[in-house]
Amino acid sequence: MLRTARSLGPAVPVLALMLASACALAPISSNFTGRSLGSGKVGLDGGAVAAGSGMFAARLAIGLGPDMDLGAQYDTLSAGLFAKYSFINNRDSGFSLAGFAGAGKAINGHYIYAGPALSIKAGMFEPYFVGRINWVHYGENKTSSGFDITAGDYSYLQFTAGSVLWFSRAVGINAEFSYFSGTTGSTQLVGPVIAGGLKLRI
């Protein structure tokens, strides 16, 4: 693990900056597939979420073992850490299944989420499906990026379907649609919320 961290070099301060920039929902972009990165590999995702007044989203992950990833993620409303473990991990082709969990800071509170992710790698295409339960705590009323946030504790479900188009083993683009069941304060989440971006594997 330490050897992997040393090999990242400049990537380590980026992780720290993402966490220090903690900005009230759990991250809206799911963007998980069932496959893990692999030992010593780095994944960098960046894109946008078409929600509220629009949000930037980014994720940096490190493969700690053949089936285990650890990383950090940021969007306009939140920033935190996540871990993912692939129970079925077919890196080149076929079906993969993973479980993941994450936690972090929101604008005026914090969040926890967990769920499964499955994907099927078929040539250039990798459709994926994610189910997620989210729990968030807000300390005060606030409005941010078009969302009205009411103080309290809330839980809601998120279901995401998307696909990655891989141009090579290292470069791909993805698009996904998310639907929600539940509420976060005075904001009723329904969907679909559209997100997408660029995926790099190093």
Residue by residue, DSSP assigns 88-149 as E--SSSEEEEEEEEEEEEETTEEEEEEEEEEEEEBTTEEEEEEEEEEEEEESS-EEETTEEE
pLDDT in tens, 32-89: 999 999 999 999 999 998 765 568 899 999 999 999 999 999 988 789 999 999 999 9
CB within 8 Å of 36: residues ≥ 6 apart: 63, 66, 67, 68, 69, 84, 85, 86, 89, 91, 98
Instruction: Please identify which residue in the block is written with the tokens 């930037």.
Output: 56
Each domain of the chain, given as residue ranges in start order, spans 2-201
Which pLDDT belongs to residue 12? 34
pLDDT in tens, 93-104: 999 999 999 999
State both tokens at 25.
Answer: 């929902």
What global pTM score does this model have?
Answer: 0.81
CATH of 2-201, one of 1.10.287.70, 2.40.160.20, 3.40.640.10, 3.90.480.20: 2.40.160.20
pLDDT in tens, 106-141: 877 899 999 999 999 999 999 999 999 999 888 777
